[in-house]
Amino acid sequence: MGVTKTEVFTAEQNRIADLAKALAHPARVAILQHLIATKSCVCGDLVDELPIAQATVSQHLKELSRVGLIKGSVNPPRVCYCINEPVWEEAKATLGAFLDAFTGNTCC
């Protein structure tokens, strides 16, 4: 498998790619939508909300946490998750600026 050469791209390009990767699975989108809809931290009931196994939910939560879109607080035996508001705002600005950069074209 090829090696990704992230160092040859700007920090902004890498961040856009990271955010896009985190949003690139419907289960992750569903997790985020659920967290947004509840408007509070969610502790353990994500498995009941999604048609996927606990281990799979955990992997998706790990990816969303890795990019910072969600944060978790450990309260054994549970971990509670919620939207990480500062990073969410940064993602909106970063992805919005990227998408807004296209103003249309006259070819094709």
Which residues, 6+ apart, have CB-to-CB distance to 95 below 8 Å? 16, 19, 20
Do 61 and 102 meet the contact criterion of CB atoms below 8 Å apart?
A: no
pTM: 0.87
Write out the chain's pLDDT in tens, 108 residues.
455 688 899 999 999 999 999 999 999 999 999 999 988 888 777 888 888 888 899 899 999 999 999 998 877 777 889 999 999 999 999 999 999 999 988 787
Given this model, what pLDDT does residue 1 score?
46
**CA–CA gap between residue 19 and residue 70 (Å, rounded):** 12
Nearest to 82 by CA among 37, 25, 47, 48: 37
Identify the three-state secondary structure at position 52.
coil
Nearest to 25 by CA among 79, 83, 64: 64
Do 79 and 46 meet the contact criterion of CB atoms below 8 Å apart?
A: no
